[in-house]
Amino acid sequence: LLKLKQTLSLKYPRKNNGLASKSSSSNTPEIIIENGFQGSQYNNRVPNDNTLAISNDGVIVSGINSKFFFYDTNNDSILEEGTLHSFTTGFPQFNTVSKYDPKFIYDPDEDRFIISFLIGTAYQNSNICVAFSSSNNPSDPWNVYLLSGNPLGTDHWTDYPAIALSKDELFITGNLLANGVSWQLGFQQSLIWQIDKYDGYNGETSLDMQIWSDIKDDSIYIRNLHPARGARGLRGPNQFLLSNKNFSAESDTVYLIEVTNTLNSGLASLNLTRLSLPDHYFLSPNGKQSINKELSTNDSRMLGAVIDDNWIQYVHHSMDTTYGTAGIYHGIIENYSSAPEINGTILSDSIMDYGYPNIASTGINPNEKECIIGFNYTSAIDTNGVACYYMDNLNNYSERTQLKNGDAPINSFVNGQIDRWGDYFGIQRWYSNPCKVWMSGMYGGLTSNASWISSVAVSDTCRNPDPIISIEPPFIDGTLYPNPSIDWMIYDFTLEETQMISISIYDTQGKLVKTLYNDQASSGENRLSFNTYYLEQGLYIIQISSQNEVLSTKKFMKGF
């Protein structure tokens, strides 16, 4: 990996011309910095694993490495702080085993938090700890579970987790590594845990789950899977994940993985699609500092992704070959569930290096692409810190907004010329205030590295959703509305009993166009809202079936 980076840096050397890579124009959107304060006290461990979630009521659950920090934004008060060890006191066999790589997430539908982190660095003691809050107050008791980090019995341990929520399930990804070998060389394969989240909320004795393994492109295991989070809210039943050729010097390949249906449906399956970009992404050079110690950018793995009805946006590292600096690749996959189209933009600076980006949506209506991209930065002529970009719905990017400037170079490792800089950047849309985003990154303090928590707003006041989206018709059995449809449609139907159903769209020749739903539905009134943006103009048939029986058939027109 290091040799590949050195080769690329010789091919695309740094220009250091002192010119900004972007300049202001009349189309440049602006964002507002609202809050900023230091998060959990750093414990001088590396790398710097920042994570953050915020509830609708403004309670923040954040962490860095092995420490957590519960904070009430309304009262500007700390509710609780401590170490991850406090979650595993019921498992005394792990009292002296390391706990690290925290990932925190908020469930806006259930008003609960979920915390996950890793235990152990060998297959003999490797576990994933998953804790579900019992209420919206993180200081209340948690339901805690341990998942084996050697789940396939192959004598490997789990590293580098990522998490996402759907309406019914929790998804965790991780890499299996060999004992005593570096993460670069010890990789065996990447896994997906599909978990019934309600088992955790209800405090069941165990979690109903499935582990997806042997995820390959031909004979090569795909490395570093990252689940996409719902852009404006939780989605489901299908879950999408992303990966790429993150160890290649340069590549145009992106992998789109789909886990279809829920565990309870009994119909869950995994599909993989290989996509090709019109351009290339590259391994990033390490970040420069004012001292003779670089900051590691690792590889080009996916570091954040959000999904809406018609697109997925994602971010990861990439060299900007124009300047030879470490930048951010911001990719967008359109029509991901029908005919995917993919493209991207590299965000960079001629002098600064960017590291460990993550992304959150600020869109109000379906498929609005506006988002905040948060990241760490460093410079050989200045310092390091935390910053962000805003992209509006016209795909215009703001100027780089610096949220916190570092006080000193990052110098955690006494020896060596490369220091750890990542591995994670925490970010979340504030669901109850959707034009606002909270994030957590790292910077260099005077005596140690530090965590910085901040929030930004994309405007002084958040606009209301479009009226056509916010107003739904009363329930009328068997009705398709609006018909004809342009971008979206509602289908009201009633079932006599709870049962497994499939809802699909067909053309007038009887050819399947798309399956909208394939899962259990409840007895009584049901409403399905779905996107019709991708359909060509013409007449279509929507059909509800159960097993081999057709329950309902309706016609609708796609307009323009």
pLDDT digits (tens, 9 = 90+) for 382-413: 999 999 999 999 999 999 999 999 999 998 87
pLDDT in tens, 314-354: 999 999 999 999 999 999 999 998 899 999 999 999 999 99
Mean residue pLDDT across the chain: 92
Q: What's the pTM value of the predicted model, to 2 decimals?
A: 0.85
- First and final CA of the chain: distance in angstroms? 50
Amino acid at 89: T
Distance CA 267, CA 282 (A): 38
Q: Positive or negative CA dihedral for 143, 455, 163, 310?
A: positive
The pLDDT tens digits for 103-129 are: 999 999 999 999 999 999 999 999 999
Confidence of residue 97 (pLDDT cuts 50, 70, 90): very high
Burial class (CB in 10 A: 0-12, 13-18, 19+), 262: buried
Cis omega (within 30 of 0) for bond into 109:
no
In angstroms, rounded to a whole number, what is the distance separating the alpha carbons of residues 404 and 420?
19
What share of the chain has pLDDT > 90, as a percent? 79
**Is there a contact between 275 and 240 (Cβ–Cβ < 8 Å)?**
no
Q: Which stretches of 436-513 are DSSP H helices? A: 467-470
Tokens of 72: 């009430």
Tokens 């059909």 appear where? 543
With helix as H, strand as E and coil as C, how does 255-288 read?
EEEEEECCCCCCCCEEEEEEEEEEEEEECCCCEC
So what's the pLDDT on residue 465?
79
Neighbouring-strand partners of residue 77:
72
**What dihedral do alpha carbons 515, 516, 518, 524 form, nearest 10°?**
-140
Q: Which residues contact 437 (CB under 8 A, 6 or more apart)?
A: 360, 362, 372, 374, 388, 427, 428, 429, 430, 455, 456
pLDDT exceeds 50 at position 529 = yes
Six-digit token string for 234: 């939780």
Q: What is the pLDDT of residue 43?
A: 63
In our burial notation (b when 16+ CB lie closer than 10 A, e otherwise), range 451-474 reads bbbbbbbbeeeeeeeeeeeeeeee
What burial class does residue 446 get, using C-beta atoms within 10 Å of its C-beta: 0-12 exposed, 13-18 middle, 19+ buried?
exposed
Peptide bond into 13 cis (omega under 30): no
The pLDDT assigned to 548 comes to 79
DSSP strands (E only) in 123-266: 127-133, 142-148, 156-165, 169-178, 187-196, 209-212, 216-217, 220-221, 226-227, 229-230, 239-244, 250-260
If one compares 426 and 481, the residue with the highest pLDDT of the two is 426
Q: What's the sign of the alpha-carbon dihedral 309, 360, 347, 248?
A: negative
Give 463's DSSP letter: P
pLDDT in tens, 430-472: 999 999 999 999 999 888 888 999 999 999 888 887 765 445 6
The pLDDT value recorded for residue 23 is 47
Q: How far apart are CA 262 and CA 28, in angstroms?
A: 42
Q: Would you state the structure tokens that stand for residue 371, as one six-digit string?
A: 């988002």
Provide the total of helices (H) and of strands (E) in the chain, helices listed first: 3, 41
Cβ partners under 8 Å of residue 210, min gap 6: 193, 194, 263, 268
Specify the 3-state DSSP secondary structure of 294: strand
Which residues, in sequence order, are bridge partners of residue 501? 519
Does residue 215 carry a pLDDT above 80? Answer: yes
Tokens of 482: 């609006």
Q: What is the pLDDT of residue 280?
A: 97
